[in-house]
Structure 1
C-alpha cells in the first residue's frame, strides 16, 4: 500500500470509508497498477546489476552506541571482506550499521528504502546507484527475497519480524531456495523461539518441529560468517564479488 499523506488517523479513516463510485475506484486502482509495475521494473533492473547478496534486517531505532548497532557493523564488515554484498532497508539504525560495515569492508552496500511518515531516510553509507526507494512494502520485500542468498536478522520491531517471517514462510513452503536465516542475539530471540516451540508447535500443532531447523541463533560476527560459509560450502556456492 502506498504511503499517502494525512494529517491524522481520523482523516485517513474518513478517506478510507468515503463512499466512491465504482468507476472512480476502478480508475484509481487501474492507474495504481502502473506505479506498482514501474517499481518492480526499476527494482529488477537495478538489483540484477548488483547481484545476489546477504540481507541484514533490524530496527531503524537502534542508536549508534547500542551494542547491536556495533555488532551489525562488524557482521557486515566481515561479510563484505568475505566477498559478499550486503542489502539493508537503507534507513537508520541497524540498517545504517549494515551499510556502514559493508562500505568499510569494501563490498557492495545496497539500500532498499521505504517511504514512511517517520523514521526512514537513506543513510550515508549506501553505494552510489545502489539506493532504491519504494512506496510499496510488498514490492520492496520481493526485492529482498529475490536477491538475497542469506538473511541476518538483528533485534528489531514489527517490520523486522515481518521480513523475517516472510523469508521463513517462503522457504518453508518451498517458494524460494533454502537460504540461511540467522538470528543474532539469543537474549532477544529466545522468548519468541520458546513460544514457537512450546505453543505454536507442541500445543497447537500449527507448525512442524523441523521448521525450527530453518533458523539459526548466534551471538557473534564470527558465528554469522561461519553459518553463511558453511551453507555456501555445503552447496558448492561461492560469493558473487
Structure 2
C-alpha cells in the first residue's frame, strides 16, 4: 500500500503535488509565487501607488490615553490620505496613494479603518507568524493578502510606495522603517517622502543626531524624513516633500517603470 502511494505521488502533476511544492527544493518557486499572486491581485484592482503606514499592533483604541490618541490619529490620517490622495477617484482606471498596512491590529487597523470610512479601497499585507494573527476587518477583501516570506512582503511594500508614515512601534515597525530608508539612501528605490509620527516618541527612542555626530550617517541623511504631531501635518509634509496626487498610468503600464524601479533594481 505504501509503495502504491509513493507511485501515485510520483505520478502526480507537479503543479498539483502539494508535498512537492512545499518541499525544500521548491523554496525559490514559492518565493516567486508569493510575488506573482500579490502582483496579480494589486494589478487587478488597479493599484498604481500606495502610502505605506507602519506602526505597532499593540496600540489599542481602548488603551491608555496615549494609545487611544495614537489610534485616533492613524485613523484620521488614513481618512485624509484616502480622500485627498487619489484612492477614491481612479485616474485612467488606476488608483493612487492607496493606504497599505501590515494588515494587523493597532495602528494598522486604524489606518485601514480610516481609509475604509472614506470610501476607499485599502490594502493589508499580512504575514504568517507562529502565533495567531488575523487580518483586521477594515481591509478591502480582494486586497487582503498573506505572505510567508518577510522579504517578499517588504518588496511589495516598497514597489508602489509614494509616501511612508511611521507611527510609534517596536521591532517590526523599526525594521520596516529602516529597510525603506536604506533603500532610499542607497538609491535602490526612488526617493519618497517619509514622516515619523509623534516627534516626542521618536526623539526619545532613536537618537538620529547622535548617528550623524558619530559619522555613521551623513548629516544630509537627516533630511530623508520629517516629523509630525497631527494627521493634517503628516499629510502636508508628504505633499511638501514630493507626494504627487495627480498620477496617471497607461493601459497595461509597467508598475516597476511607473514607480521608478528598473529591471536592474534587485531588491
For this structure pair, what is the TM-score category when the shorter chain's length is used for normalisation?
A: 0.7 to 0.9
Decide which structure has the larger Cα Rg and report it. 2
Structure 1 residue ranges, 4+ long, deviating more than 3 angstroms after superposition: none
Deviation at 1:227, TM superposition (A): 1.3
| In 2, Cα distance between equivalents of 1:172 and 1:47 | 27
Q: Which residue of 2 aligns with 1:196?
A: 208
Deviation at 1:191, TM superposition (A): 2.2
Deviations 1:59-103 (A, max 9, x none): 111111321111100011000110231000111111100100000
C-alpha distance 72-119 of structure 1, shift in aligned 2 (>3 A): farther
Q: How does 1:117-196 map to 2 (within 5 A)?
A: 117-118=130-131, 120-193=133-206, 195-196=207-208
| In 2, Cα distance between equivalents of 1:160 and 1:112 | 14
C-alpha distance 186-145 of structure 1, shift in aligned 2 (>3 A): same
Deviation at 1:237, TM superposition (A): 5.5
Deviation at 1:51, TM superposition (A): 2.1
The SS at the match of 1:129 is helix
* 1:210 matched to 2:212: no
| In 2, Cα distance between equivalents of 1:120 and 1:140 | 16
* 1:33 matched to 2:28: yes
The SS at the match of 1:168 is helix
Checking the alignment, whether the CA contact within 8 Å between 1:85 and 1:240 is kept in structure 2 is no
Q: How does 1:1-241 map to 2 (within 5 A)?
A: 28-48=23-43, 49-65=46-62, 66-82=68-84, 83=86, 84-118=97-131, 120-193=133-206, 195-198=207-210, 200-203=211-214, 205-232=215-242, 238=246
- Number of aligned residues: 210
Deviation at 1:119, TM superposition (A): 5.8
| In 1, Cα distance between equivalents of 2:59 and 2:37 | 30
The SS at the match of 2:241 is helix
Checking the alignment, whether the CA contact within 8 Å between 1:60 and 1:119 is kept in structure 2 is no
| In 2, Cα distance between equivalents of 1:173 and 1:86 | 25
Task: Structure 2 unaligned segments of length 5 or more: list them.
Answer: 1-21, 63-67, 87-96, 250-267
Deviation at 1:240, TM superposition (A): 6.7
Deviation at 1:45, TM superposition (A): 1.7
TM-score w.r.t. the length of structure 1 is 0.82
Deviation at 1:131, TM superposition (A): 0.6
| In 2, Cα distance between equivalents of 1:64 and 1:119 | 20
Checking the alignment, whether the CA contact within 8 Å between 1:61 and 1:119 is kept in structure 2 is no
Please report the RMSD computed on the Cα atoms of aligned residues, expressed in angstroms.
1.9
| In 2, Cα distance between equivalents of 1:229 and 1:33 | 39
| In 1, Cα distance between equivalents of 2:248 and 2:202 | 30
Deviation at 1:36, TM superposition (A): 0.9
Checking the alignment, whether the CA contact within 8 Å between 2:109 and 2:136 is kept in structure 1 is yes
TM-score w.r.t. the length of structure 2 is 0.74
C-alpha distance 121-50 of structure 1, shift in aligned 2 (>3 A): same
| In 1, Cα distance between equivalents of 2:126 and 2:48 | 18
